[in-house]
A and B are shown apart, each in its own frame.
Chain A
């Protein structure tokens, strides 16, 4: 297992289009997180899964954002009707209790 994988690495989309990102966590990690990061800022929490259950979702996350983790393995993050303000790096992380996060390399989204 080589770590957390995210796909795609880069995505350019037109405003109003839907996009979906995938994250494959480290296999033995049952906790999975999505964060968003813009230039000069720290990562901002979006949502958290333990196994297949979505246990926490940021109040900042509009209803255009949805995340799933079917069967407690990989996860997808979908953004509907993208806006320019959605342009950011979307980071997935997984962890075990008290071990700290292992992040994927991220998906850089550009909305034009």
Chain B
């Protein structure tokens, strides 16, 4: 079993749709969590950190469920520019030091 698991998709949604991705992690001692987006043949870029209380950044909302060991990303009012692969990232330390474990990503395609 992988340490961080994501549904690879692809998720194909129309513009304006709301879409949600989940990610599960196996190590209950994990302390810090992130979502990154990666465009085709580009490097990953930080989308947002995920806090225990949940957090929102514009159209994006991230939630953490420690009891069930999953994090989620909700995208509202999808734009064409949201098409990308979304990577879930987990780290053992609350300082995010050392090894971070990436999921293999969920691919989103937003269509006109």
Using a CB–CB cutoff of 8 Å, the interface residues on chain A facing chain B are 31, 33, 35, 40-45, 48, 50, 55-56, 58, 91, 95, 97-106
Using a CB–CB cutoff of 8 Å, the interface residues on chain B facing chain A are 4, 8, 32, 34, 36, 42-46, 49, 87, 94-105
Can you sample 20 A-B contacts with CB below 8 Å? A31-B97, A40-B8, A42-B87, A42-B102, A43-B87, A48-B97, A48-B99, A55-B97, A56-B98, A91-B43, A97-B96, A98-B49, A100-B34, A100-B46, A101-B36, A101-B44, A103-B43, A104-B43, A105-B42, A106-B43
Number of A-B contacts (CB under 8 A): 57
Interface centre among B43, B99, B100, by most A CB within 10 Å? B43
Query: What is the distance, in angstroms, from B54's C-beta to the closest C-beta of chain A?
Result: 17
Instruction: Report A-chain residues with C-beta under 8 Å of the C-beta of B98.
Output: 48, 55-56
- A42-B87, A100-B34 known; A95+B96 contact, CB < 8 A: yes
CB contact between B103 and one of A31, A42, A58, A103 (< 8 Å): that residue = A42
